[in-house]
Amino acid sequence: MLLADDDSCWFVKLNRAELLDMFEAEADGLAAMAASASIRVPIPLCTGTAGAQAYIVMEHIALGGRSGSGSGTVAGEQLAAMHRTTASLFGWHRDNTIGSTFQSNRQHADWIDFWRRERLAFQLDLAARNGHGGRLAKRGERLLERFPALIDHAPMPSLLHGDLWGGNFGIAKDGVPVIFDPACYFGDREADIAMTELFGGFGADFYTAYQAAWPLDDGYRIRKTLYNLYHILNHLNLFGSGYLSQAEGMIDRLLSETG
């Protein structure tokens, strides 16, 4: 909902009081992205509880600007700039959520170890507990053993949005690109780029500009499937078996790449 006076307008999100930590993590992510002085994000104002509700208050940015007027190019350049904000370890100083699913951001010095333990293994275990064991679990376990061969480059820990699909990207009325609803951590920048391709919403000008600013390494097309598998498994866990065959197909394609 919106709160406004004569001078300012703020956007307020509400949830159950016991979910305050989710809003606090969101505020931390927005603040980190804003501090990178790159792509525009809503500036968080405060979080807290009022009775049975938790809240986060942030800057309201009116969306609805016209795409195709250079905004995609600017977004690609600015996201590359944000990804140049780096850390010494992969992960984050706190856990957060991906959608409504808990996201473990325990820090690791090794990216392969982080992605195996805090991303794929977590989602595969959750899927088994949600009744999606069997073939998915067996093939998933094989992938966990083999997938280091798929990450054949050495990424630096870049600041990531973490949930960068088309629904979390917009154009402000003044034409400036905006990203919001983050699930931030430090990781391989390709994980952000991969998700932009998962559900669409980003034009060719965005990718051309990103590549010009900071070209992706060879092998991205294979790693893209590995990184997007995390989100498809999360959708399986959130929304049910409609995503099962897609997850299994992605695992099969990745296993075929490992020999």
Catalytic residues: 163
Is residue 244 within 8 A of residue 222, CB to CB? The reply is: no
Backbone angles phi, psi at 137, to 5 degrees: -65, -45
What is the end-to-end Cα distance of the chain in Å, rounded? 52
96-98 and 53-59 beta bridge pairing: unpaired
For residue 18, what are its two tokens?
A: 């016991």
Q: Are 83 and 64 in contact (CB under 8 A)?
A: no
Distance, CA of 105 to CA of 187 (rounded, Å)? 10
Give how far the C-alpha of residue 73 lies from the chain's centroid of Cα atoms, to the nearest Å.
Answer: 20
In 7-52 the beta strands, taken as DSSP E runs, fall at: 9-16, 44-50
Backbone angles phi, psi at 11, to 5 degrees: -100, 130
Distance CA 246, CA 36 (A): 35
* Distance, CA of 88 to chain centre: 19
